[in-house]
Structure 1
Amino acid sequence: MQRQAVNPSDWSVKLGYNQAELIGGMTRQFICSGQTSVDDAGNLRHEGDMRAQIGLALDNLETVVKGAGMTLANVIRLGIYATDVDAALQNFDLLGARFGGHDVAPPMTLLGVTRLALPGMLFEIEATAAD
């Protein structure tokens, strides 16, 4: 798979993501449902703690992606949902560290929502990956 960043200006790169990417040579596409701050039994963890919820959601995303034989380097699109956009943005360094470690900055959308699936859930991240 080849990735070509498309950034008419660099404002998004400074925030850790590309405005778009041109993907070529792809053989498989992986679509992952929203990953949240739940344990292996589906129980919410870190209620009320945005930073901890983002960290566990990213752990869960990475685990699911690995299950397809891929890594976070294969992620080509993120959809992010947060009950508090400002709190999520204050903790986006976690995304930068996780994806930057793979030298990728996938295009993403962050949406503020009134609630997520479980009471106390603050953050959800879905992904599309390819190889």
Structure 2
Amino acid sequence: MSEPTRIPAPDGVAPAAHYSHVVMGTGRFVAISGQVALDENGELVGEGDPDAQARQIFENLRHCLAAAGATFDNVVKFTYFLTDTAHLPAIRAARTAHLADDRLPASSAVQVAALVRPEFLMEVEAFAVLPE
């Protein structure tokens, strides 16, 4: 199995948090749509609770990855959409529960004015690469 390669950033610039600046993969590309904190019944998990919402989102991502034959080890990029950057620690804690320290994907975080429903505090999309 060909693993994604994490490449140090030019000039030795260290990431500001747990992510990689550059991740290169070869194989089949998997795009996971933005996941929100809805459970299998379509019910909101964690109204007003960023930690609970982040945990549910990463559980939803796990299910989506599994449906594609992937795991978090195959993820090469996350994009976080947050209504408040104060929720970043919740995202980081949920991510850490699913990722090994040597498997850190590239990441972007964006604060947005709103998501599709006002009770959603965050949304996370993922990109993965599976071996050929």
- Confirm or deny a common fold (TM above 0.5): yes
Q: Secondary structure at the match of 1:33?
A: strand
Aligned-residue identity in percent: 26
> Could you tell me whether the CA contact under 8 Å between 1:30 and 1:128 is conserved in 2?
yes
* 1:50-82 Cα shifts (integer Å, max 9, x gaps): 011000000000001001111111111111101
Superposition pairs of residues 1-131 of structure 1, within 5 angstroms: 1-8=2-9, 9=12, 11-12=14-15, 15-24=17-26, 26=27, 28-89=28-89, 91-100=91-100, 103-131=102-130
**Distance in 2, Cα, partners of 1:89 & 1:111:** 14
**Offset, 1:125:** 0.6
Residue type of the partner of 2:65?
A: V
**Offset, 1:122:** 0.4
**Offset, 1:99:** 1.3
> Could you tell me whether the CA contact under 8 Å between 2:54 and 2:90 is conserved in 1?
no
* 1:5-33 Cα shifts (integer Å, max 9, x gaps): 12233631x62110011223x1x111110
Q: Secondary structure at the match of 2:99?
A: helix
Stretches of 4+ aligned residues off by more than 6 angstroms: none
List runs of 5+ in structure 1 lacking aligned partners: none
**Offset, 1:89:** 3.2
Q: How many residues align?
A: 127
Residue type of the partner of 1:126?
A: E
**Offset, 1:90:** 5.4
> Could you tell me whether the CA contact under 8 Å between 1:53 and 1:122 is conserved in 2?
yes
**Offset, 1:96:** 2.1
Over the aligned positions, Cα root-mean-square deviation in angstroms equals: 1.7
**Offset, 1:91:** 4.7
TM-score, length-normalised on structure 2? 0.87
